[in-house]
Structures are given as structure tokens and as C-alpha cells.
Amino acid sequence: MGLPPLNSAERQQPWKQPLRQALDAQAATSRRHLRSFAPGAAGNLHPQERQSTSGDPLLDLASNDYLGLSRHPQVIAAAAAELERSGLGSGASRLVSGSRPVHAQLEEALAGWLGREQALLFPSGFQANIAAVTALADRHSLVLADRLIHHSLLAGVRASGAKLKRFGHNDLADLHCQLEAARAAGPDRRLLVLSESLFSMEGTSPAVGQLMELCEQHGAALLLDEAHALGLLGPGGRGLGHGRDGIALISGTLGKALGSGGAFLAGDATTLEWLLQHSGPFRYTTALAPPLAAGALAALDWLQTQEAHGTPVGSALLQRAARWRTGLEQAGWPRPPGEGPILPLLLGDNARALAMQRRLEQAGLLSVAIRPPTVPEGTARLRLVLRADLPPGTLTRLLRVLGRP
């Protein structure tokens, strides 16, 4: 639906005109729309089905709730108990009166699980990434970032005032050349490298060990965003950075595989103390809601219990993801790269991606078209997400609807 013409009052507001011009120039196939999806009912809907605005059930192939923990009874019970104990919100920042015992418990548990000295909670991953970049870089620094890095990290670079250069996606040869040139040009310059262990729109991962070695060789700090890997990749789902001491900071989220909300940074005591003392994104925000912290703590405990019993759910999900990749390939689609639960189905232009989204929805499957600027021009796609609690036969159902490319 288009916007109505500017009225006389709006025409007297010059600040609004460039916004309106940009909106009017935006192509229909690139416009975004908010849509609400009701959760699956306890009756005849599967727990991972959603009800569209028309009331039709849609099996959710878009959510980042990879392990289905947002609905796990243990997680819900822990959040409900903390809700009763502490209330819904924390009411203040952590440095005023917003800290609760559950915050410290979760930070200690996360640091221990990841093998890091300390961890610090943030209300969102976007805030955590801005805090991480501004801790490790300033206006005198050079930041080398993977070309497909998350927008929050780019926002952090802008906030830090550092100079930004990009290297090819997971292209360590390119990074090596840029690091060599940067170090030769500024032997004492502060260098920071940004990457992710599982890229959210590509499903790909870098060779983290080699990446870390390159950074150590050239005296560069490495910030690794593990948001989509934690709970799935690495030993016991601890991420691809686990056991690698050369990583300056690990950024992680509680709102994906852990089924809750919020985020954290984990690293050495010095860096975390700097964040506590100097980070604006930490200092000037209301603390993470205590029920979310309690739910994440319960999810983490559940993950560790599964590992102790020899049944890590992340491993089973990765095996299922491999079968999905093979199934898509055998059906004639390009094999989605990577090994995690994110399977991009490249379609090229926006119109084709939106048409395929509608086609799936008509068949009861929810997969959202991802378009520029979230992905590069000409690479619009469906981002298929495999989760541990999807019902059997989902792949067969999906392939039947997709047909051949």
C-alpha cells in the first residue's frame, strides 16, 4: 500500500521530504511489511506451526530457535519462576539497581561453558556487537571485516570512528594480504578483524583456526560473532572459537539456539573489566529482563545435561542438515553451502524470491524472502532454517512444493 500525498502541514517540514522521496522511490519488490504470526496452539497445530493473519497454519522454516528451546518446559518453568521472584523487567541498568543474582549466575555459567575468564550480558546482540567493536577499536584503528559481516558490527565500526576495509567472504588469502599491507604501513597501528563463525544469511563458516593464526601473526585482535553457531557447532555446541585463546572477544546471543533473548560478550578479565567501566552500550541501558536470563540459564543447563548423557542435540541437527542439503541437490537445486542449519536457496531477483515465498505459504510453509540490502544485489533468496523439532517428512513436503528450479 502506498503512502498518501504530503499534506500542507507536512510540506512545511523540510526534514520529512527526503524521507518521503526515498520511500516513494523504493521499488515494491524491496519494501518490507510487518506481519504477525500467532504461535501454534496446544490443539491440532504442531508446536512449530504459526497461524497467519488469515488463520491458516504455517510450518515455520524461518525461525532461529534451532533447538526448539523457547518452548521447552524446563526453560519456560525457569523463566516463570524468575518472573514470580523478580518481576518482568529489571527496572534499571546493571550499574544502578538492575542487577539480579540470575545475571551473575548466567554470566558465570557462560564463561565456564565457553572456557573464557568472564562474560557480560547485554539486552541485545546489536548492543553487544557495538560494545565489542568500540572496546577493541578507536578512531586511530583499522578494522578489517568480512564482506558479509552483520550490520551490527558495521554499526560498531562507525561508532568507533575506525577506518574500515573489507576482505572477501571467508577469503583468508585476501585477509592475509591486507593484514601484511596494514602492518607494513603502520607497525604500531591498532588492528581489528571481524568475522562470524556461522554467517546468518549464507550458512557458511570460516576456517577459524587459520583466521586466528593470521591475526596473531600480524598482531590484530579478532572479534568472532558466534551468534548462530552456539548450541550447534564446535565441541558440545560451544562454537568454533572454543579452545582458541587467541580470540579477543566472543559475541554470542541467547535468543537463537538458547531459546531466550539478549546477548553476551565473553573474553579475558582485562577486556571485560574495560567494558564494565567504559562501555556506553552496557552502561546506558536497562538490564536484561531477569526471566530471559533465567530461561537462558536453564537452556544452557539442559544443553550440558544432554552432552553429559552423550546425546548432544546439535550433532543430530547437523546430520539432518546434511540430508536436507543432499535432498535439495538431488532435486536440482544448488547445494546450500556450509554444514549448519541455515540453508539459503538462491533465487536471484527480488520478484522471484517473493513469488517463491508466496508459493510456499500457499502450501503451508513459512520461509521469508531475504532481499538487498540484507544480502548483496542479485542474490535474493529464501533462507530455509532447519530446527530440531520440525516434524518428520518436512523435507519431502518442502521438495514437493519447490519443484525443480
* Integer CA distances (angstroms), 377 to 24, 31, 69, 190, 264, in order: 20, 15, 34, 32, 32
Interval 152-165: pLDDT, tens:
999 999 999 999 99
- The residue type of 30 is S
Q: Tell me the one-letter amino acid at 158.
A: R
Is 329 designated active site? no
Q: Known catalytic residue: 151?
A: no
Please tell me the distance from the alpha carbon of residue 22 to that of residue 187, in angstroms, as a whole number: 43
* pLDDT of the residue at 43: 39
By the 10 Å C-beta count (0-12 exposed, 13-18 middle, 19+ buried), 42 is classed as exposed
* Strand 163-167, strand 142-146: pairing: parallel
Distance CA 134, CA 10 (A): 38
Residue 145's pLDDT is: 98
The 3-state DSSP class for residue 385 equals strand
* Catalytic site includes residue 24: no
Residue tagged active-site, from 129, 197, 256, 307: 256
* Closest listed residue to residue 304, CA positions, set 65, 102, 112: 112
Residue 284 predicted with pLDDT over 90: yes
The pLDDT value recorded for residue 42 is 41
Given 72, 103, 218, 228, the catalytic residue:
228
Give the pLDDT confidence of 132-145 residue by residue, as tens digits: 999 999 999 999 99
Marked catalytic residue, from 129, 152, 200, 205: 200
Q: Which residue ranges form the domains of the chain, and what is each CATH number?
A: 38-61+313-402 (3.90.1150.10), 73-307 (3.40.640.10)
pLDDT of 33 reads 86
**Three-state SS sequence of 159-180:** HHCCEEEEECCCCHHHHHHHHH
The pLDDT of 115-136, averaged and rounded, is 98
State the DSSP code for 233.
Answer: S
3-state secondary structure of 133: helix
| Helices 172-185 + 208-217 axis angle, to 10 | 10
- 225 noted as active-site residue: yes
Using only the alpha carbons of the chain, give its radius of gyration.
22
Q: Give the DSSP per-residue string, 209-222.
A: HHHHHHHHHTT-EE
Query: What separation, in Å, do the N-terminal and C-terminal C-alpha atoms of the chain show?
Result: 31
**For residues 124 and 243, what is the distance between their CA atoms, to the nearest angstrom?**
25
pLDDT confidence tier of residue 2, bands split at 50, 70 and 90: low
Q: 49, 60, 107, 196: which is the annotated catalytic residue?
A: 196
Q: Which residue's C-alpha cell is 579477543?
A: 248
Q: Which pLDDT tens digit goes with each residue over 193-233?
A: 999 999 999 999 999 999 999 999 999 999 999 999 999 99
Q: Residue 190 pLDDT > 70, yes or no?
A: yes
Amino acid, res. 286: T
pLDDT digits (tens, 9 = 90+) for 14-36: 888 888 888 888 888 888 888 87
- Catalytic residue at 200? yes
Of the residues 225, 226, 307, 389, which is catalytic? 225
| Amino acid identity at 245 | D
**CA separation, residue 179 to residues 15, 41, 167, 185, 211 (Å):** 42, 53, 10, 10, 11
Q: What is the pTM of this model?
A: 0.92
What per-residue confidence (pLDDT) applies to 44?
Answer: 39
What residue type is assigned to position 402 of the chain?
L
Label residue 58 by pLDDT band (50, 70, 90).
very high
| pLDDT at site 309 | 87
Rounded CA-CA distance 78/291 in Å is 8
Distance in angstroms (rounded) separating the CA atoms of residues 296 and 75: 7
* Strand 365-366 to 57-60 pairing: parallel
- Euclidean distance between CA atoms 130 and 69, whole angstroms: 27
Q: Which of 158, 88, 99, 82 is nearest to 283 (CA)?
A: 99
Q: Which of 67, 97, 81, 358 is nearest to 236 (CA)?
A: 67
Of 72, 103, 150, 218, catalytic: 150
Closest CA to 347 of 324, 328, 323, 319: 328
* Residues 216, 210: Cα–Cα separation, whole Å: 10
With 80 as the cut, is the pLDDT of residue 11 above it? no
The pLDDT of 305-321, averaged and rounded, is 89
Active site residue 64: yes
Cα 343-169-404 angle, rounded to 5 deg: 30
Beta strands in 105-190 (DSSP E): 118-122, 142-146, 163-167
Position 313 scores a pLDDT of: 80
Calpha distance 220→246 (Å, rounded): 10
Report the b/e string of 66-102 with b at 16+ CB within 10 A: bbbbbebeebbebbeebbeebeeebeebbeeebbbeb
pLDDT at 50 over 80: no
